[in-house]
Amino acid sequence: MGLPKGPEGQGLPEVETREDEEQNVKLTEILELLVAAGYFRARIKGLSPFDKVVGGMTWCITTCNFDVDVDLLFQENSTIGQKIALSEKIVSVLPRMKCPHQLEPHQIQGMDFIHIFPVVQWLVKRAIETKEEMGDYIRSYSISQFQKTYSLPEDDDFVKRKEKAIKTVVDLSDAYKPRRKYRRQRGAEELLDEESRVHTTLLEYGRRYGFSRQSKAEKAEDKKMALPTGLLAAEKADAREEDELQAAEEQRIQSLMTKMTAMAREESRLTASSVGQIVGLCSAEIKQIVSEYAEKQSELSAEESPEKLGTSQLHHHKVISLNKQILQKTKQLEELQASRTDLQARYEEKKKTLTELKNYGEKLDKEQAALEKVEAKADPSILQSLRALVAMNENLKSQEQEFKAHCREEMARLQQEIENLKAERAPGRDEKTLSGGEQHGALTPAMTHNEDLDRRYNMEKEKLYKIRLLQARRNREIAILHRRIDEVPSRAELIQYQKRFIELYRQISAVHKETKQFFTLYNTLDDKKVYLEKEISLLNSVHENFSQAMASPASRDQFLRQMEQIVEGIKQSRMKASWQRHLSAGRRRRQPLCPSRPRGGRAPEAWSDGEEEAREQNEKRPVERPVLGAVRKTEAVL
């Protein structure tokens, strides 16, 4: 009971917050982007905007296969230090992802959603692209993992029918594979060209390459229906010529067939040695017949128009023409593809260069805007003097460069003069007839000139030393001004300090509120203990005096009067306690009306000394409570 009792009449100052509509709009857009990308934790209303945005950015980064050094366990209501550390870890990953937008840790911690929005937008786009790239791979991997352990009913049926289906396909391929029916006779001449060899090979396997009677008849019927009556005679003449050509071709085929012999069924499968023997059979006769056929075909194609050629010749010419066109188009396609690849590479290079230039331009604009802001906040007189000193420094540097160049030129000229003097003095040393006086007269001008050069050199050197001292002094003054400018905190640092002070003030307010609650609890329990002790002492007194008071009528009347006085005192104590309770309630209602902490960072106004002492004495004074239990027991006894 000797502990001090806490204040009950002081109200906690409230921190004023400013809601920015544009920030709220950007926050809503960021949450919509995260939910659309698949981060559904952004829908949880219990999370703070910082946890939603940082969690979404971390989720996007991990989806893009980049590592972030964060704790796996979620921590709610982190301190400002933990928030800044987490923001720095996220910002350190963005350059590795080649993010085109710049973001600072204090912007994330300060919930600057206007600058966070483009970064989140780029991360969501990158995450969706990564999902599309990895979707097919993950799906195929999951299917393969599923098939290793499980199987569908369709797969079981397929496995059961697989062997039977393979056997059926093999049997069909064996039954319908090409079989050799004829072979060339021994002693045949070698074939001349590829076309003759193709015809002969097809005949050996039972394939005849010639006219089709059915197609010719159908074509003739179509021409009869399409052409007028006057041209039927010419068409009939053409038909006769085509029939003659067809008959000649069939005769040639028959002559080729007479040079071949039928093969037995068991000889249909030939070895490599038997193939070589067959090729050598009747090669001379086949060569002669095929060459005659080729000459006749060329003569017919030269004499007659393309409309009068046979179907096989027209088909052959069309095939050759189409093959040439295919080769030309293929070559053109390859050239166009190569040109397209080159143009695509150049386009990508130019696009990359354009992107880099745009990023560099944006960076320069941001730096220029930041410099303009700093310049607007700085002292104009200091800026003017700093500009003058910088201009003087540049001027001194240019003068130094010019002086160095002039010294080099002068040194080169002097060295050239020295070389010339040495060259002039060399022949004089070789002459032995010169006298000592003549030599001294020749060297005196040269020595005077050298002394003059040394004197000028020392003067210029001393001048250069003084200029360097002046430049060093100016540089030192510029460095001092730079340090003075750097000592003034920037806007970002001031914002950071303000947010840290606000959070510290909130923590102090929470601790102060908790301490007040403990003081109130202690006072309540102490008062309760005092009232219980009074109640116990009163009950003991009533119990001890009850038997004596009931012994005679006079003592009983006196006892009743004392009990009435006790009851009256209890009622007065009850009224006093009720009045104090109403007074405390009114004081608590007046607490929200107390002035909050000003925005300038000053503490709320303190109580005066007299008011503080009166309030503490009022709190320390014991308050009597009505002892309802004792009253009820006394009334029951009476």
Dump the DSSP string for 243-306: HHHHHHHHHHHHHHHHTEEEPPGGGSS--HHHHHHHHHTTHHHHHHHHHHHHHHHHHHHHHS-G
Q: What is the DSSP letter of 41?
A: G
For the segment 281-299, the average pLDDT, to the nearest whole number, is 64
Contact 198, 251 (CB under 8 A): no
How far apart (Å, rounded) are the C-alpha atoms in residues 594 and 605?
10
Per-residue pLDDT at 514:
94
pLDDT at 621 over 70: no
Per-residue pLDDT at 155:
82
pLDDT at 18 over 50: no
How far apart (Å, rounded) are the C-alpha atoms in residues 223 and 198?
33
Query: What type of residue sits at position 624?
Result: E
For the segment 59-87, the average pLDDT, to the nearest whole number, is 77
pLDDT at 308 over 70: no
Q: Residue ranges per domain, the chain?
A: 21-149, 182-309, 380-426+437-487, 493-637
Element (H, E) at 184: strand 182-184
In the chain, what percentage of residues exceed pLDDT 70?
68
Cα of 580 vs its chain's centroid, Å: 65
Per-residue pLDDT at 470:
92
Report which of residues 220 and 382 the model is more confident about.
382
Query: What type of residue sits at position 417?
Result: E
Local confidence band at 501 (pLDDT 50, 70, 90 cut-offs): very high
User: Three-state DSSP class for 72?
Assistant: coil
Report which of residues 131 and 240 the model is more confident about.
131
pLDDT at 515 over 90: yes
Count Cβ atoms within 10 A of the Cβ of residue 464 and give its class: 0-12 exposed, 13-18 middle, 19 or more buried: middle
Per-residue pLDDT at 215:
46
Q: Which of 28-42, 56-70, 595-609 has the lowest mean pLDDT?
A: 595-609
How far apart (Å, rounded) are the C-alpha atoms in residues 100 and 358?
10
Per-residue pLDDT at 307:
47
Among 245-254, 329-338, 365-374, 627-636, the range of highest mean pLDDT: 329-338
Report which of residues 512 and 592 the model is more confident about.
512
Q: Which of 115-124, 351-360, 629-638 has the lowest mean pLDDT?
A: 629-638
Report which of residues 379 and 524 the model is more confident about.
524
